[in-house]
């Protein structure tokens, strides 16, 4: 049985904050220890049970993509071993699930790239034939491939709130035209590079979100996580069929279960997850890692 970590408790470093999945600690003034827990959120609510090993899967997958995409844009990794910045008794909490990252100024707009019409994009399209103000051809079916990938930014919400889709014009207003265009162009390039690679592994990347930050010199860096099953929709290519929502390598089992819980209004606290849902979800994350990277989860 894979050991799990619901919440880290690193006492040797100052805690900066906890997100839905990650716990951040200060390493000096210019670096951050990012610990990826086994917490899982669905419908923007953090579940009460961990998915054992999930944080290590996400960490290994992000490391794989950061390396593969490093020629397109710099990223936040420092290469410093997380085990070297915590106390000896805390090493087990960071092993395989943490990185020491550059401290960047986060850009509070998420860079979402969609190659297929699904999720909130599909709902927008049904309502007005467009996604985030981008008009799309009539007659698309759910999960259809788009003529070309589209960039649909989202404003980052506070913990527990839903991120809000915004237009590119609104993104320009918030962060400036030059930076907005740079983020858009890099995001589409990252997506296309990753999607082309994933296709060789039998996986469709339907959509994904990237997060960026600036260093002290104003240089754009890719940060947080990249192309994981938490930040992307991965579909198995061999069972893909447009016209309905394809099965995906992520929290699909959890979402499907939660939709059956009568009376839950999708606000905290979340209902308890049955053991089989936890097990199936963990297996899906590991399968996505193995199919995409060709590597099993490292011990």
- How is residue 79 written in tokens? 């290469």
Q: Is residue 180 part of a domain?
A: yes
Residue 177 structural domain: 106-239
What's the confidence (pLDDT) of residue 158?
A: 72
**pLDDT at site 1:** 45
153 within domain boundaries: yes
Span 223-279, pLDDT tens digits = 999 999 999 999 999 999 999 989 888 888 898 899 888 889 999 999 999 999 999
- CATH number of the domain within which 204 lies: 3.30.470.20
Residue 54 lies inside a defined structural domain of this protein: no
Number of other CB atoms surrounding residue 182 within 10 Å? 15
Per-residue confidence band for 159, with pLDDT thresholds at 50, 70 and 90:
low
Phi-psi sector, 142: left (phi>0), alpha (psi -120 to 50), beta: beta
Domain annotation covers residue 56 = no
Cis peptide before 243 (omega within 30 of 0): no
Structurally, the chain folds into a number of domains equal to: 1
The pLDDT-based confidence of 160 (bands split at 50, 70, 90) is low
Residue with tokens 């993104």: 171
Q: Does some domain include residue 163?
A: yes
CA angle 65–70–73, rounded 5-degree value:
115
Inform me whether the pLDDT recorded for 283 exceeds 60. yes
In a domain, 290, yes or no: no
Contact 100, 31 (CB under 8 A): yes
Choice between 37 and 42, residue whose per-residue pLDDT is larger: 37
Give domain status of residue 137, yes or no: yes
DSSP 8-class letter at 86: S
On whether residue 115 sits in a domain, the answer given is: yes
């Amino acid at each position: 049985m894979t050991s799990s970590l619901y919440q880290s408790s690193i006492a040797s470093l100052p805690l900066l904050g906890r997100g839905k999945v990650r716990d951040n600690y200060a390493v000096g003034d210019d670096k951050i220890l990012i610990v990826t827990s086994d917490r899982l959120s669905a419908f923007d609510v953090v579940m009460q049970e961990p998915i054992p090993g999930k944080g290590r899967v996400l960490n290994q997958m992000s490391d794989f993509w950061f390396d593969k995409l490093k020629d397109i844009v710099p990223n936040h990794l420092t290469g410093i071993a997380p085990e070297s910045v915590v106390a000896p008794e805390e090493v087990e909490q960071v092993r395989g699930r943490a990185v020491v990252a550059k401290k960047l100024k986060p850009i509070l707009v998420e860079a979402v790239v969609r190659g297929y019409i699904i999720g909130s994009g599909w709902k927008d399209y049904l309502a007005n034939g467009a996604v985030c103000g981008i008009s799309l051809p009539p007659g698309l079916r759910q999960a259809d491939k788009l003529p070309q990938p589209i960039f649909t930014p989202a404003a980052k919400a506070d913990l527990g709130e839903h991120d809000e889709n915004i237009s590119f014009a609104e993104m320009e207003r918030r962060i400036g035209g030059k930076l907005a265009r740079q983020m858009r162009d890099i995001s589409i390039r990252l997506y296309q590079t990753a999607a082309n690679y994933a296709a060789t592994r039998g996986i469709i990347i339907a959509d994904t979100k990237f997060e960026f930050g600036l260093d002290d010199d104003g240089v754009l860096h890719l940060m947080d996580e990249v192309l994981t099953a938490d930040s992307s929709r991965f579909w198995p290519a061999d069972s893909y069929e447009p016209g309905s929502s394809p099965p995906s390598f992520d929290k699909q089992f959890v979402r499907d279960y939660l939709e059956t819980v009568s009376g839950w209004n999708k606000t905290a606290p979340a209902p308890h997850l049955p053991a089989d849902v936890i097990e199936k979800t963990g297996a899906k994350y590991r399968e996505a890692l193995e199919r995409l990277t060709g590597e099993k989860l490292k011990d």
